[in-house]
Amino acid sequence: MASAMKVSVGNGGAVLEDVPHLTKWLPGLPTYENPLKHNPAYSAVRQYFVEDTDVVARDVVVNVNTTGEGIHFRRAGLRDKIYFKSEDVRACIVTCGGLCPGINTVIREIVCGLWTQYGVRDISGIEGGYRGFYSRNTISLNPKVVSDIHKRGGTYLKSSRGGHDTHKIVDSIQDRGFDQVYIIGGDGTQKGANAIHEECKRRGLKVAVAGIPKTIDNDLDVIDKSFGFDTAVEEAQRAINAAHVEAESIHNGIGVVKLMGRYSGYIAMHATLASRDVDLCLIPEVPFYLHGPGGLIEFVHHRLRENGHMVIVVAEGAGQELMAETMGSLDKMNDASGNKLLLDVGLWLCNHLKEHFLKAFREPLNLKYIDPTYMIRAIPSNASDNVYCTLLAHSAIHGAMAGYCGFTVGPVNVRHCYIPIARVVATSRRVNVADRMWARLMSSTNQPNFAQYSHAIQQSRKQNATKRREEEALSNGSSTANVNGDDVKLDSTQKEPIEMIEIGNK
Ligand SMILES: Nc1ncnc2c1ncn2[C@@H]1O[C@H](COP(=O)(O)OP(=O)(O)OP(=O)(O)O)[C@@H](O)[C@H]1O
Ligand SMILES: O=P(O)(O)OC[C@H]1O[C@](O)(CO)[C@@H](O)[C@@H]1O
Ligand SMILES: [Mg+2]
């Protein structure tokens, strides 16, 4: 699937990771003057047009002796020459994967941009994600139809997971005569877009495939930040505020908020940093453990004793291994796109806290659990995300019109670029816990550095495994269990010792 990236080195030593161009397999394609040259809004300032030699550096913090070297991407924007005659263009737009604030703005701006800037009149919407290419009729799009959609959350075109069939999709592209395909979606979608691009190239088609990166988890590599992320973080504040109000208004109150973040804890990290009311932030990148010195329970005791209440933010992908260990081996279920379905860490954590504190105090814990998972993504984008979405859409249009293909558009160090799709999907971005941002969070929450206790995590894992095997054996009616190779005698009357701890001021 992954195509080799075209890499060249400029005279100044700059390495360009380039995106494909239609002329690579269709040499001699005719070119046309960009109509924007005569558009009053764009024609006045020459610098609006991007030169073929304009590139953007991936790293802007460089050693003074190495400036000019390093990886660069082609700068996005309008070109003098274009490879499509406006009246011939047949464009289509598809949205795939989970929702994200701003998808409708991107759709709207692709339609309006193609229409008003380039005079394109044939624009179709593919309904219901990739499978819509071969199982649905198209929707005709024009500025009137999409004029208000940016005020609504979700996707006007509907979305889906699964259903990517490269051959059927490219057959449909060919049959319908599409020559510009705009694909809005996350890592899975971009992989699918690359496969479509490769197949179009193999068939020698004049089809520009342009990917617009969408991921609320902010887990796509290379680009600065994904659209909708800021909106989601902002919305998460409402849940955190509610958790905080509930927690501080009652003796020994705990508010737990679960936020999205399958493998990357960006939303949880930024929402925590923005709020300042959060005492503990759990993300997939940092394994944690509950019991023992340096563990989560000890910290909760400490914080309640200190403040009388606390707020925990947990990313949905946090603690997955720990849960699997304590709950036994669960069937690994996947969604239609092959993404692993997660265990519910929010409920699990709340249950463990309640159980533990009931034993410790012999009275129920005042714990309020808020799960705003879908609320933070099913909303329209905020003002700054709207502007960002507009830029993404316009950059994508300029790139496709200029004959570039197999690219994902996005800002790198604030400048929009055309990035080879293969580069964007090569690795997915995770919170770097050795980076300053996580350090800022740690110093804001003063939470334990679980990473320092890797030996304790190992120890806790062994104990969990042992406990689970014993419990399984007991429930099977056995009097012994195999623990680390030894048959251990079991006592069904054995109970965990009750630990009495004084917390908070009663
Ligand atoms: N490796 C792949 N190759 C081709 N198509 C893929 C691949 N992975 C996923 N897809 C297709 O991409 C579409 C979206 O994938 P997925 O459901 O994983 O969402 P996504 O784009 O990663 O967005 P998000 O995870 O942020 O919601 C689906 O139709 C899926 O079939
Ligand atoms: O329930 P759905 O619609 O599959 O989406 C949930 C997933 O989508 C994501 O938001 C990624 O888009 C994940 O964080 C989350 O697990
Ligand atoms: Mg994904």
Among 301, 326, 354, 315, smallest CA distance to 433 is for 315
Q: Does domain 6-226+383-425 have CATH number 3.40.50.450?
A: yes
List phi, psi (to 5°) of 233: -65, -40
* Cβ-contact 271, 313 below 8 angstroms: yes
Helices (H), 39-113: 40-43, 103-112
Q: Whose CA is closest to 306, among 288, 282, 279?
A: 279
Structure tokens at 16: 């360009």
| CATH homologous superfamily of 229-378 | Phosphofructokinase domain (3.40.50.460)
Q: For residue 127, give every residue at least 6 positions away whose Cβ sits within 8 Å of its Cβ, in sequence order, or none.
A: 136, 137, 138, 139, 157, 158
Considering only CA atoms, which of 206, 201, 199 is closest in space to residue 179? Answer: 206
**Runs of H (alpha helix) within 155-226:** 166-176, 187-202
Ligand lying nearest the CA atom of residue 316: 2
Q: Are 431 and 151 in contact (CB under 8 A)?
A: no
Other CB atoms within a 10 A radius of the CB of residue 135 amount to 15
> Which atom number of ligand 1 is nearest to the Cα of residue 335?
17
Q: What is the pLDDT of residue 324?
A: 87
Label the pairing between strands 139-141 and 122-125. Answer: antiparallel
Using an 8 Å Cβ cutoff, are 70 and 62 in contact? Answer: yes
Measured CA to CA, the distance from residue 195 to residue 231 in angstroms comes to 31
Whole-angstrom distance, CA of residue 260 vs CA of residue 315 = 6
Q: Which residues pair with 182 in a beta bridge?
A: 93, 210
215 is in an annotated binding site: yes
CATH 3.40.50.460 region(s) of the chain?
A: 229-378
Whether the CB of 97 sits within 6 Å of ligand 1: yes
Q: What is the dihedral of CA 300, 304, 309, 310, to 10 degrees?
A: -30
d(CA 229, CA 267): 7
CA of 98 to the centre of ligand 2 (A): 5
Mutate to test the pocket of ligand 2, among 159, 189, 216, 343 (most ligand atoms within 8 A of CB): 216
* Token code pair at residue 285: 């990148």
Helix or strand run (H / E) with residue 322: helix 320-327
Pocket test for ligand 1, best of 183, 189, 262 (most atoms within 8 A of CB): 189
SS3 assignment, position 303: helix
Rounded CA-CA distance 104/21 in Å is 28
Q: Is the CB of 213 under 6 A from ligand 1?
A: no
For residue 121, the model assigns a pLDDT of: 98
CA of 160 from ligand 1 middle (Å) equals 9
**Token pair listed for 496:** 């965990």
- Residues forming CATH 3.40.50.450 domain(s) in the chain: 6-226+383-425
Ligand 1 contact via 215 beta carbon (within 6 Å): yes
pLDDT of 258? 98
Say if residue 437 carries a ligand binding annotation.
no
187 lines ligand 1 (CB under 6 A): yes
**Binding site annotation covers 189?**
yes
Q: Which ligand is nearest to the CA of 95?
A: 1
Nearest to 110 by CA among 132, 96, 127, 125: 125
**Whole-angstrom distance, CA of residue 476 vs CA of residue 114:** 66
Instruction: Show the tokens assigned to 112.
Output: 């309006």
Question: What one-letter code names the amino acid at 505?
Answer: N
- What sign results for the dihedral spanned by CA atoms 76, 77, 83, 84? positive
CB distance 163 to ligand 1 below 6 Å: yes
State yes or no: is 217 an active-site residue.
yes
Closest CA to 272 of 423, 441, 430: 441
**pLDDT score of 487:** 56
Cβ atoms of 161 and 335 closer than 8 Å: yes
* Tokens found for residue 23: 């002329």
Q: Write the pLDDT tens digit of every residue in 261-306.
A: 999 999 999 999 999 999 999 999 999 999 988 899 999 999 999 9
Burial of 267 (0-12, 13-18, 19+ CB in 10 A): buried
441: helix, strand or coil: helix
Q: How many CB atoms lie within 10 A of CB 67?
A: 12
The low-confidence residues of the chain, meaning pLDDT below 70, are: 1-4, 45-47, 67-68, 328-331, 453-462, 477-506
Rounded Cα–Cα distance for residues 227 and 397 (Å) = 17
pLDDT the model gives residue 502: 41
Instruction: Sort 14 into a burial class: Cβ within 10 Å, 0-12 / 13-18 / 19+.
Output: middle
Q: What is the pTM of this model?
A: 0.90
Cα separation, 26 vs 419, in Å, equals: 21
Q: At 15, which helix (H) or strand (E)? A: strand 15-18
Contact assessment for residue 451 and residue 286, using Cβ atoms and an 8 Å cutoff: yes
Nearest-atom number in ligand 2 for the CA of 99 is 12
Catalytic, out of 18, 122, 179, 217: 217
Burial class, 348, CB count within 10 angstroms (exposed 0-12 / middle 13-18 / buried 19+): middle
Name the H helices within 340-453: 345-361, 383-401, 421-426, 436-445
Residue 374 annotated in ligand binding: yes
Hunting for tokens 């759709």 — which residue is that?
A: 107
| Helix and strand totals (H; E) in the chain | 16, 19
